[in-house]
Amino acid sequence: MPDLICLIPNHGFSESDFVFISWLDDRFYVRDEDIDSFKISSTDDDLNLVQFTETITDGFVREVTEIGSTIITGLEHLEGELVSVTSDGMVIISSTVLGGSITLSNDVFTYAVGKTYAATLIPMDLDIEGTGLATTKRPNRVIINLNETIGGRIGQDVNSMVDIPDVSTLTTDFREISLPGGYTRDTDVVVKQTQPLPMTVLSLTYDLGASRD
């Protein structure tokens, strides 16, 4: 298998720089660099060069420090606010900012800090031909088409939601979910992302029962 070569004109990195590679979601050392390209290794030598067979045209490379930190400072503008910290594609802590900083249990090298939030998707109610919008319906199953998504919940309403299965890492795929709940005239399906993680819903396909009451 060939060594991975990062082709980035005038990249500015030097031999042994420690960098984060977005499409591999990990940190590596720069090796065999020249002005327009370099290889990467999991150690600061040529013994563990990363090998790769795909062509990547989208992503980023960012220099990071080898020295991790358990204290994140510079958060005075968020004083007293509840924030979440993400690192390596995961939420590692939710904490209240005190004295312009928060303390972590483990070292982090790269991270993002922001206020917690919940994103809610409520599609338009189904207009079943010949029955109308107010038809009593029950979605038995939903097939959700996801693009680059981690986490998320789905249900007939916010009180009867279940986790979308098998999306603990970045996922682009379909997921089929059986929904709890009964017949209703209200909203058919609600999708929520309660973590500061990516979610894109491309489509929802329903298997449902309908009543002509």
The yes-or-no verdict on residue 7 having pLDDT over 80 is yes
How many domains is the chain partitioned into structurally?
A: 3
pLDDT at res. 25: 81
Residues contacting 54, CB < 8 A, separation 6+:
none
pLDDT digits (tens, 9 = 90+) for 65-74: 667 788 998 8
Confirm if 151 and 197 have CB atoms less than 8 A apart.
Answer: yes
Query: Based on the domain organization, do 185 and 127 belong to the same domain?
Result: yes
pLDDT digits (tens, 9 = 90+) for 149-203: 999 999 988 888 999 999 988 899 999 999 887 777 766 789 999 888 999 999 9
Distance CA 164, CA 150 (A): 9
Distance CA 148, CA 162 (A): 19
Query: Based on the domain organization, do 33 and 101 belong to the same domain?
Result: no
The range of the structural domain enclosing residue 89 comes to 69-115
Query: Based on the domain organization, do 156 and 193 belong to the same domain?
Result: yes
Query: Based on the domain organization, do 202 and 125 belong to the same domain?
Result: yes
Q: Read off the tokens for 62.
A: 């960012």
pTM of structure: 0.62
DSSP 58-75: S--EEE--SS-EEEE---
User: What percent of the chain has pLDDT above 70?
Assistant: 92
Query: Based on the domain organization, do 196 and 129 belong to the same domain?
Result: yes
pLDDT digits (tens, 9 = 90+) for 102-161: 999 888 877 889 988 889 999 887 776 666 666 777 788 899 999 999 999 999 888 889
pLDDT at res. 187: 63
pLDDT at res. 109: 77
Query: Based on the domain organization, do 97 and 54 belong to the same domain?
Result: no
Query: Based on the domain organization, do 104 and 179 belong to the same domain?
Result: no
Query: Based on the domain organization, do 198 and 142 belong to the same domain?
Result: yes
